[in-house]
Structure 1
Amino acid sequence: MPPTVPPDWKSAVEALTGDAPADQTLPAIAGPDDARTAMGLLFELREQTPRSNDRWRGATAVRASASRAGAGAIRLGVRPVILSDSGKWVKSTITWSNVGYQLNRLGLNVEQHRWFCQFVPLHRVDRPVYNGQDTEWLYLDEFESPLLWHLLTEANRLGIALVGSHKDAAVTVAGTATVALDAVRTAEALTLSPVLSIDGQGHPVDAAGALGDHGVYAYRLGADAAIVLAPSIEPLSTEQRRLLGSPGGRTPATPDLVVPAGEVDEFLRAYYPALRRSLPIESADASIQFPPPPPPVLVHTVSFQPKQAVRLDWQWQGDRDDEAEDDVLHRLNTALPDLSAPADPAAPAVTLTGLPAAEYTDKTLPRLETIAGVWVQLVGEKPDYRELTATPQLIVTTVETEKRDWFDLGVIVRIDGRSIPFNPIFTALAKGRKKLLLVDNSYLSLTQPVFDRLRELIEEARALSEWETGLRINRHQASLWSDFEDLADETEQAVSWRAAVGGLLQLERGQANAEGVAALPRATPLPAGLNATLRPYQRAGYEWLVFLWEHGLGGILADDMGLGKTLQVLALLSHAVQHPADPVAPARPFLVVAPTSVVANWLAEAAKFTPGLRVGSVTSTQATSGRPLADQARNVDVLVTSYALFRLDFDAYQAHGWAGLILDEAQFVKNRTSQVYRSAVYIDVPFTLAVTGTPVENNLLELWALFSIVAPGLFPSARRFTEEYLRPAERGVRSQAELIGRLRRRIRPLMLRRTKDVVARDLPAKQEQVLRIDLDPEHREIYDTFLQRERQKLLGLMDDLEANRFIVFRSITLLRMLSLDASLVDDQYAGVPSSKLDALFEQLDEVVAEGHRALIFSQFTSYLALAAARLDARGVRYSYLDGSTTDRPGVIDEFKTGDAPVFLISLKAGGFGLNLTEADYVFLLDPWWNPASESQAIDRTHRIGQTRNVMVYRLVAADTIEEKVMALKESKAKLVEAVLDDEAVFAKTLTADDIRALLE
C-alpha cells in the first residue's frame, strides 16, 4: 500500500477556519439564510391605559407621543417585526405568542428566529405567566434578568435590527449608565438634583425608566424621537429607580431636594451618611466637599433566648471598606484569639446554649465592648451569669439505710456563701464535664483538686451501688467511707435565701374585720342541697360572692390558704344555678380555670359538697380528644379546665357562652405579658371571680393585673397605675402608708381577704386534704411500662411469696419511687416533668408568700433532694433532716429559732423526738403504709403548744400504686399496725391477693 500523503498546511488551515486567505478571491456563494426574511426588534414607548370598567374590551396601552399629555404609566415595549419586500419593518402576523411557529411559514432567518425564541423565556424567568397577558408586547421595564445585555449584543452580531415605531426614531445601545444626585451649593441653599448620565452624556430623568435593576433607558419624543439603552455599572437600588420617571409617566418626577443654608451642617451630619448608602451623591461643580464616609462598624447582635441560650450574629454596618474591615478583624482576633463564636459576617448566626452561653455572656462580651470598631447590640434581657470562684467546701454525710449493710452518701457543696445540692454536680462529674451551669445562672469550675478527689471516690462508689437511686457504699468499705468523710469541710447546711416581702401581706391581713366583709344589705339563704356547714366567716364570704354575682361585679376572693375558698365558690355556683340571673334565657355553664393538678380536686370537692351540681372537666385539647368543646360543655352546670388548655384552645372557649368565669389560683394570670393573662382579659363573660391566697407576690402591678381581669376600668392603664402608685412611693412624693390607704379604699369593695389569725376561733385544730395528682403524659408512659414489666415478673412468683419476698418488696418500692419521679429510678429520666413536685410548689409558693412555715415529709431522701433543689432554685431557705444528719439537735434548733419557712424531713428521722409547733402546714409527699407513722409526722407540729391551725396535705399520684397503698392502708388496719419500724416486716406479711391488688 502506498504511503498516505499528509495534506499541505494551507489546506488544513482552510479546513479548520472555513475561510480562504485574505488575498484570495473566491466566487460569491449564497448562504442558506441570505434569501430568508430578516427580523427586527421594534421598540415603542407605550402609555398604559388607566383601569376602567370597560378596560377588557379594548387595548391596555397606546403608543406614547409628544402631543399627548398622558396620565398613564409609560413603559418600553418591544415586539418582533419582519422586513417586507418593500424594505419596511412590518408586524405582519408574528407575535411573541406565535413566534416559535413562524419559522417556515414566514421563511425567517434561522439564527435570528432562534434569538427571538430565547428572548421570551428570559423575559419571564422571574415573572409569573398569567391569563390575559399582552401577547403583542413585552416590556423591558420588567426584564429582571441582566442577560438582556448579552441578548442585545447577540442581536447586533446576528444583524437583528433595533428599530423604533416612530418614523426615523433611533434606537441605540450605549455603554454604561449612572443614576445619582448632583449637589450644588450656593449662598442660599444646598440643592440635590437627580441626574442620569449615559456614556457621560446627561439625560432628563423624567424621560427615562429602569430596566429591572441592571440598566436604564432614556427617550425623546417628537420629530427627532430616540431611545437609548444602557446597562448600569452596579445594580440599581430602589432609591435610584425611584428617581426615574415623568410627571405623567411611570412615577411622579422626583423634585429637587433643597436644604436651606442654615441646615446644611445638620444635613451633612445626620442625614448624608444614610442617604449616600442608598444613592450615589456627587458635586459636578465641586461647590461642596462631602465628609469622608465613616469607617465600617462590626455590629455584634447578641439575642438572649429562653432556656439559657444566646444567639450570636455579626454584620458590617456603614460603608464597606476592605482595608478598614481587615483592621477591625485584626484587632478583634488579637484581643480574643480564642473567640468561641468567630466573627464572620458571611456566616449564619450561631446559637450557644448552657455553659458556653453563660461564659460568652459573662467573660467575652465585656471584652468585646472595649474593642474599637466593634459595637455590641443586646436584644432581650441579659441574664446575670456569674462565675463562683471561691474555693468549694464540701459537706459529706453518711447514714445507715434500711438495708443493714448499706449506707447512703449525702454531699452538698458550699461556695461563695451558697449551698449547691450535689445532684447536678454529681451528674456533671459523672459525665466528665469541666464546668457546671446552675439554674440561677451561676457557674463554677469542676477542675479544682477537691473535685478531682471526689470524682475518684464517686467512680469507686458507683461500682458498688444497687439499682436504688443515690450513691451507696457497703459497710465493708470502711476506708472509702472514711475518705468521703475526710473531704467534708462542714456538717451544717447553709442555703442563701432572699428576704421575704412582708409589707403587702401585712396590708392584706389588716384589711378584714371579724367576719372579713362589711354588712350586706340582706342575708342570702344557703342553696338547697349544700352538703356542708359553713362557718360564720365562710357564710359571710358566700353572701359577699352572691352580692357580687347578682350585681354583675367581678372580685377577688383572697382568703388565706386553707380557709375553704373552694367551698365558698361552690356554694355561690350552686346558688347561681338554682337562681339564674335571667330565668328566661338559656342556661349557660360556669367555666372554672385552675392549675392542672387542681382540676381533679375541684371535681372531688363538688361531688362532696354540692352533689346537685353537674360538673364536668376538660382533660385535653380539642385536637387531641377529637371532641368539640361545645359538646363537652353540654348538659353541665360547671366545666373545669386547666390554664394550659384554656390558653391553647382559647378561640373555642371564647366562642362558647358562659355564665361566669372562675380563675382558681389566680396568681397564674398575674403576669400581664403572658398569653394566659390575655386570654383571661379577652374572654367575654358577664361575671369573673379570681380566687387566690396570694393576690400580690412581688409588686402591686400584679394586683393591677388581677383587677384588670375581674374589674376592668377600676384602675387606669398599667402605665398610669405605675405613675399614681409605684413611682410616687419610690420618689418619696407620698408616704407608703398614704399610698396603701388610698389603694385599699379603691379595692376594698371588690376584694375579700381573711387570714387564719382573724377566723381561728371557727377553725378546727387540724384540717386534712388529699391532693390527687395526675402524672405528666411522659411520666405516665414510663410508669405504665415499668408496671407491666414488674406485674409480669411478680405475678409468676405469687405461688411462693415467702421465698420471693425480697424481690417483691424491691419491685413494689420501685413502683412507689416511679410514682414520685421517674429520675429516682434512672437518671436518664431527669428531664421528665414531675407533676407531684409541680403541685407541691403550687401550694408551697402560696404558703411561703403568706408567711407560713411548712414541714415536708417523704420516705425517700433522694426525693427530698429533688425538692431541695427546687427550693435552691427559688432561693427559699430551708432546713433539712434525715438519718444522715450528724448534728440533729442543731438542725432542729436552727429551724425553731430561725426564720426558714420550710423544713425537709425524712420519715425515719422525723417520726420521733421533734416538737415543731413553729410550723402550721404539713405536706406528705408519698403515702405511707402505716397510718400511725403519718400521724406521728403530723404531730410534730399538731401538738400541745400549737396556737395556729394545722393544714395537712397528702399528695397522691393518681392511678398509681400510691392509690392502691391508700386503699390497702384503710382495708388492712391490722396489717398496718404490724408495721411500725421496718417495711421488710410489711413485705413479709403481704398476701398474694394484696400484691395482685397493688399491681392492678
Structure 2
Amino acid sequence: MREIEASLRGGRIGLTTRAKFQAVALALREERARVKADETVTESKRGEQLKRLDGIATILAKTAVRDAGLLSLLDDEAEVLPEAREVKRDMLRSLGIEPVVEEAPAAEEAAAEAKHRVVPQSVISRQLANPFLAPDFSAARPRQPRTTRLATWELLGPLLRSFERASAGASACMDLPEREVRRTPQGRELMPHQAQVVAAAAAGHRTFLLADEPGLGKTAQALLAAEAAEAYPLLVVVPNVVKTNWAREAGLWTPRRTATVIHGDGESIDGFADIIIVNYEVLDRHVGWLGNFGLRGMVVDEAHFIKNKSSQRSRNVLELSARIRARMMRPLLMALTGTPLINDIEDFLAIWQFLGWIDEKKPLPDLMHELDETGLTPADPGFYPAARQCVVDMGIVRRRKIDVAADIPARRIADLPVELDGPAGRSIRAAERDLARRMVARYETALAARDSAEEVVGIDRELVDQVARWELKDAANAKSGDNVFTMMRKIGQAKAELAADYAAQLARSAGKVVFFAKHVDVMDAAEATFAQQGVRYSSIRGDQTSKVRQQNIDAFVNDPGVSVIVCSLTAAGVGINLQVASNVVLAELSWTAAEQTQAIDRSHRIGQTEPVTAWRIIAAQTIDARIAELIDGKAGLAATALDGAEVQLGASADVQHAALVALLVDALSADPVHAG
C-alpha cells in the first residue's frame, strides 16, 4: 500500500498501479477469510489480526475514492486482471509462500452470465421465419500474419505518449473527402463536416472514433454512415437516458430503416428491425443473441463510458465488437464521444480495442502495418508524431465548433456573484474557516513531527499537497461533519432560490431557460420558487422513466407556456437537444470543465440560431468562487491529445484537491509564522 500511495502522489494511475491495488485487495480478502477460519488462535489474537487487516482495508477504501477504476476493482464481481494475479504471486513468493495454482474462472463466469441472458421471442420468430437465410460470415477469412520488425517492441505505451506529446496545432482528424451534396434523400440538410464522415463511410472507411465537440451532430453522422455502408443490422449501445432520442433521430435521418429499442428483457422489441438500440445497463442480458444476430455494424454512444475495461459494461461492448469482427471482414464500428478523455490518456485504450485497432497487449495487424511503414521504432525521436498520425488515420475524427460550424452562434459564460446573507451565509463562511483551521492544525502537526534538522523556509508546498489529499480522503469517507463536499452542497442550497429567481427573470424577458443543478434538494427548491412565481416548468431527473423524461422535454420544446426546464447535471448533461433556449443557468458548479461544457452544449449545438449565454451563479467570498476559477484554469486532456494545444497534460483535473490546496495556502499565507 505504501508503494501504491507513492504512485498516486505522482498523479498517474496506470495499469501497474491498478494491478498492485487489486493484488493487495485479493490478498487482504483471502487473509481475512483465513484468520476467521483459523481455530488455532485465541479470540483476542484473532481480534488483533482482524483489526490490523481492517486498517489496510480502510487505506484501500480511502485510496479507491480517488479513481472510479480503482473503486471498481474492490467489487466482489470485478474481473481479476492478469497482471494482478502475477503481482499477487510475486508477493507470496517473496514471503516464501508458494502460491496455489488458481483455476481459470472463465467457465464459472460464463455459466453465471448465461443464467441472466435472454432471447426475446421476436428474435426467435425471425430465426424461424428465415431458416435458410442465416447470416453469411464466410467473408471473415483469417488474415495471414504479417512479419514486422516492430513485433518485439512494446508499443501501446509509446502510442499513448505520442498523444501526450502532441505539438501545438497538430491535427487529430483523419483526411476526409469533400462532399458537395448536403441533403439526404429525405431532404434533410447536412452540414459540410457531417457530410464528410458520411462520404468517408461511402468510400469504404469502416472504423471511426467520432470525437467532434458536443453539439456537432454525431448522432446523424453515425446513422447516415451506417446507411452509406449498408451496415445493417446495426447495433447502437447508448446511455439509458438517450434511448428514446436515438429512436427519434433514426426516424428522422433514416426513415426507410426500422428501429427498435430494447427495454429490460426485450419482450417488446421488433426482431426484424434494421437498427437495434440498447442501453449499457441491460446489454449483458442480450450479449448472447446479439453476438449471433449477424450484425454488420455497431455504434457506441458516449464511448467514454467504456474506459474502465474491467467493468461489466466495457466487457460486454468489447465482447460484441470482437464477435462481429471475427465473423465479418470489415464491419462498421463507430465510437461517439465529445469527451474521449476524462481522467487519463489511458482512457483511449478501451475505445481503440472496441474499434479493433489494438488488443490487450499490442496493435492489431492493420495498425501494426501502418506503424511498420513509418520505418521508425520507439527509440527514434521521429516515431511519436508519426505513430500518432498512424492512429489518427485509422479513423479519429475531431472537429471543433469554432472551425467547422461558423453558422452556430457564439457562446459565452457569464458569472453572477451573489452574496449569501443571513444565517445560511454565516454558517457557510464559518464552516469554511473551520475547515481551513483544521487543515492548518494538521499541517503544523505533520511539520512538527519531522526531523528537527530539516529546515523549512516559508510554506512547504509538498506538505500542503499531502494535507489536502488527507482531507479529501477523510471527506469522501465521512458520514457527518463539515467538509468540502458538504460545504458545496450547502452553498448550492443557499443559492437555489437566488438562481431560480434570476432564471425566472430571464424567462420573462428573454424566453426559455435551461436551469442546471447537481443536487435534488436544490432542484426542489428551485421548482418551488418557480411555482410560487407562476412560472411553468418541466423537469429532467435521474429517477424518471424514458417516457416521462421525453414528455417533459417535449413540453419544454413545444409548449410556449413552459418557460423553464429544471435539469440534473448528471441526468441531463448528455444526449438531449434544447436549442429552443439560448440562456442556461448553472445554479451549482460541476467539479469538471467537461461536465459544465456538456451541460451548456445542450443548447449550444446545431439548430441554435441565437448566441448562447451560460449564467454561472457564484457565491462570492466563499470556496465556490475559488472552484469557478479552478474549473476555468484546468485544461482538459483533449486540449493536448486531440486539439494540439500547448498546455501541461495532467492525469486528472482534480479541482477538489486544488480547491483544498488553495484554501490551505491562503490560510497559511495569512499567518506571518508560515508566510515567512
What range describes the TM-score normalised by the shorter chain of this pair? 0.3 to 0.5
Identify, as 1 or 2, the structure richer in strand: 1
Max Rg structure: 1
Instruction: Provide the TM-score with structure 2 as the length reference.
Output: 0.40
Identify, as 1 or 2, the structure richer in helix: 2
Instruction: Provide the TM-score with structure 1 as the length reference.
Output: 0.29
